Structure 1
């Protein structure tokens, strides 16, 4: 069971735990529409049977081994065009919560937390409800591979695989929620520059020449992120391109 968090202002004050469910994001969305939850509520499960990733992808998670949960936020202070700010907040919060566990952890644009060599350890799925060009509410879905040792795909790994020992999921959960609340409140204060600097500091392949593919393979360097979340890549030719999600592939 997951207890209500004592060391936060509003995140994690209502924690809805289910031994298993189809999708924490979907359940959180249903609860939000039924007006059964307040901002900061968390839906968490030990076994997600139909976990969702971006664009219909699925999320593999062994029962009882990982953290799979969704947080309900109401960031009405954010314009719809600034919704990538939430992505940056969640990404840096996860990385700071995992600080000291393993070197080489990065955020891979736009929504994955990876180890530079061993693969993906966490995914983020944010689903926003927009009203009058503001973000009325947001469901923040997080899947973090904690103690799972074996995966069907070789591009996934876990904290346990990286470190060689198992972790207390409850301790990690509390630390992650605390970090997320801190950076969410920083965003609410308008400290976007600090958040973006932190994000770029942890961005995979930032300012490094690497191989990519859009319609053709090319070498390029990530220069930054546009305010709308598009990735800025400078090709070897000197041409700068702006890419939305799925428009460029990391090779």
Structure 2
């Protein structure tokens, strides 16, 4: 049972624990619509059966082996056009903690956590609600492979499969929430340059040539940065800088 956290300012003061659910993001979004979730509320599930990922994918998770939870935030101090900074702040916060256990941890744009040579150990999906041009709430879904040892996908891994160590989920959850709150406060304080710099420093394939696919064609490119809107900036073989949105490029 996950309890209300005592070592945070606002995050984790309202914890909704479910033994099983289809998607913590869906539950959190419903609580937001029903005005039953304040900023800082957390929905956590022991067994998520249909966790959502990017590009309409599902997040596979065995019962009691991983961390699958959603945070309710209210980043109304930001403009809608600046929302990728929330993405970067969340990614940085998770990586900061988990790199203590898996030092080679990197962020694969836009928000996957991977260990090169092993595979993907986590993902983030942020779903927003707006009122006109104003940002009301952001529901931040986080799925982390902690103790699971077998996967249908050859590209998935867990901290345990990499390190050989078993982890206490509740303790790791407490540490993560504390780190996530610190990252969000950094965002509120306007430390955006620092947030982006840290994100780029640990970005998978940054400044390295690799293979990609876009518009049905394969090409070599080098990631050189992230635009203000969170799009991927890739240098092509002819020196041109191409800009790609979420569903416009595939990593090969």
TM-score range, shorter chain: over 0.9
SS of residue in 1 equivalent to 2:122:
strand
8 Å contact kept, 1:83–1:135: no
The offset of 1:163, in angstroms, is: 0.3
**Counterpart in the other structure of 2:226:** 225
**Structure 1 contact 200–224 (Cα < 8 Å) conserved:** yes
**Is this contact kept in 2: 1:124–1:140, CA < 8 A?**
yes
Q: Say which is worse superposed, 215-224 or 39-48, in terms of deviation.
A: 215-224
Shift in Å, 1:3: 1.2
SS of the counterpart of 1:47?
A: strand
- 1:42-53 to structure 2, matched below 5 A, reads 42-53=42-53
Counterpart in the other structure of 2:241: 240
* SS of match in other structure, 1:88: helix
SS at 2:47 equivalent: coil
- Equivalent positions of 1:1-251 (< 5 A) are 1-215=1-215, 216-251=217-252
Tell me the secondary structure at the aligned position of residue 59 of structure 2: coil
Mapped to 1, the partners of 2:77 and 2:133 lie a distance apart of: 11
- Conserved in 2, the CA contact under 8 Å of 1:97 and 1:172? no
Higher strand share: 2
**Taking structure 1 as the reference length, what is the TM-score of the superposition?**
0.98
Secondary structure at 1:19 match in 2: strand
The 8 Å contact of residues 109 and 204 in structure 1, kept in 2 or not, is answered as yes
State the shift of 1:194 in Å: 0.4
Residue segments in structure 1 that go unaligned for 5+ positions in a row:
none
CA distance in 1 between partners of 2:247 and 2:162 (Å): 28
Inter-partner Cα distance in structure 2 for 1:134 and 1:201: 31
2:85 alignment partner, SS class = helix
Q: How many residues are paired up?
A: 251
Question: Cα deviations across residues 36-92 of structure 1 (Å, max 9, x unaligned)?
Answer: 111000000100111111232111000000000000001101111111111101111
RMSD of Structure 2 on Structure 1 (CA) = 0.9
Equivalent pair of 2:107/2:202 in contact (CA under 8 Å): yes
Q: Are the counterparts in 1 of residues 11 and 39 from structure 2 also a CA contact under 8 Å? A: yes
Runs in 1 of length 4+ with deviation above 6 angstroms? none
TM-score (norm 2): 0.97
User: Mind listing any 5+ residue stretches in structure 2 that lack a counterpart?
Assistant: none
Change (3 A) 1:220 1:55: closer
Distance in 2 between residues matched to 1:93 and 1:11, nearest whole Å: 14
Secondary structure in 2 matching 1:46: strand
User: What is the rounded CA distance, in whole Å, between the counterparts of 1:63 and 1:33 in structure 2?
Assistant: 28
Local SS of the residue matching 1:107? strand
3-state DSSP of counterpart to 1:38:
coil
Contact 2:55/2:247, CA 8 A, preserved across alignment: no
